[in-house]
Amino acid sequence: MEKLTSPSMFIGVQGKGIISFGSGQPDLPPPKEVFKILPAYRSFKYGLVQGQINLRKALSKDYKRSTENDFLVTNGASEALDLAFRVVGKPGDRVLIHSPYYYTYPHLVKSAYLEPVITETSEGKIVLEDFEKKVRDCTAVLINSPSNPTGRIQNVKTLKEIERITQDLNITLISDEVYKDLIYERENYLLSGPRVVTINSFSKTFSMCGFRVGYLYSSDSAFVERATALKTFTSMNTNILAQEMAYEATKVPKKRIMNELKIWKGRRDLIYNGLAELGLDLWKPEGAFYVLPKIKNPRKFVWRLYKKYKTITYLGEWFGAPSRVRFSYALDASKIEEGLKRVKKCLREI
């Protein structure tokens, strides 16, 4: 069991009979339009470090009062976050993160020589009193709503308060909104303000994980310039072909997203009800495709479920939630049902 080290141990693990509630990889394919350009594609030269202009112009249509200059196209949201942390402050500066958090956040913050500060949530919701107290010593805040791993969204009232507090204090508000198109309860609320940096990606909405196209958006032009200057040294342009594929994705009618949302919601209901029926203590997912039930002896559960029942789940401990286990439901309903049966058996044994 000491072998349960991090989510990366399960990357690429597949085989007959394995059911994976592990990876955050949507199983639904990308829109077919993104592959249509491939046969005739022949470009090969360096592109603009900031990103292809057609893609940035298309993105700017989704953000009020923005222009293509406000965007930096990156190797997925991961690189956008990495660049943001590397330019946001100086070594030793603090970054406020709400817990449970996506497992890479503390690593990214620390690898930029910044210090993560944690605010615990209540049922996945930010507690403003604690937030406001801790934020004052911070250079930046990282918000992730909908959240990986909780599937919870922050209330609009809370998000507005966070905008007000951070912008009044001149603190950079980094908002990882990669699940913005996967919310079951309401429209996404885009955090905004002069010191807001939005992170997004084509990985979740368009299932383009492997192509690694993300972006950073901010009306703070100095911030975008600093991040672009750093990327000039650290990776240059994002793959030019992937950017063209992402551009094609921006032209796909929005109703595709709404149709997929229905599928996701069906799966959400299935796994939420299924786990609740097993008597587990859990929060209802409101977005993304994760659920984070409390489980007794989670290390033993995750290990046995994997070794005996060929079913992958992730330790909540990796996400700052040591008494919980993360289930991704980015898989077919029939597999979710079969997986729930295995979970039931495994829980009985422990």
Give the residues lining the site for its own copies (CB under 8 A): 8, 11-12, 23, 25, 29-30, 35, 38-39, 41-49, 75-76, 78-79, 82, 86, 91, 104, 107-108, 111, 113, 207-212, 229-230, 232-242
Specify the residue, 169 or 240, whose C-beta has the smaller distance to its own copies.
240
Specify the residue, 78 or 167, whose C-beta has the smaller distance to its own copies.
78
Helices (H), the chain: 33-36, 53-60, 76-88, 104-111, 128-135, 156-168, 221-234, 240-250, 255-277, 298-307, 333-349
Specify the residue, 3 or 42, whose C-beta has the smaller distance to its own copies.
42
Q: Of the candidates 197, 252, 219, which has an alpha carbon nearest to the alpha carbon of residue 74?
A: 197
Q: Which residues contact 35 (CB under 8 A, 6 or more apart)?
A: 245
Q: Give the shortest CB-267-to-its own copies separation in angstroms.
A: 18
Q: Of the candidates 77, 126, 81, 78, which has an alpha carbon nearest to the alpha carbon of residue 99?
A: 126
C-alpha angle 203-206-210 in degrees, rounded to nearest 5: 40
* Contact assessment for residue 222 and residue 82, using Cβ atoms and an 8 Å cutoff: no
Q: Give the shortest CB-42-to-its own copies separation in angstroms.
A: 6
Q: Give the shortest CB-285-to-its own copies separation in angstroms.
A: 21
Q: Give the shortest CB-100-to-its own copies separation in angstroms.
A: 17
Specify the residue, 155 or 235, whose C-beta has the smaller distance to its own copies.
235
User: Could you tell me whether strands 125-126 and 115-122 are parallel, antiparallel, or unpaired per DSSP bridges?
Assistant: antiparallel
Give the separation between CA 116 and CA 188, rounded to whole angstroms. 26
Specify the residue, 226 or 294, whose C-beta has the smaller distance to its own copies.
226
Specify the residue, 3 or 45, whose C-beta has the smaller distance to its own copies.
45
Q: Give the shortest CB-90-to-its own copies separation in angstroms.
A: 10
Q: Give the shortest CB-176-to-its own copies separation in angstroms.
A: 13
Rg of the chain's alpha carbons, rounded to an integer? 20
Specify the residue, 232 or 259, whose C-beta has the smaller distance to its own copies.
232
Q: Give the shortest CB-105-to-its own copies separation in angstroms.
A: 9
For helices 298-307 and 333-349, give the axis angle rounded to 10 degrees. 120
Q: Of the candidates 312, 311, 316, which has an alpha carbon nearest to the alpha carbon of residue 102?
A: 316
Neighbour tally for 46: CB within 10 Å = 8
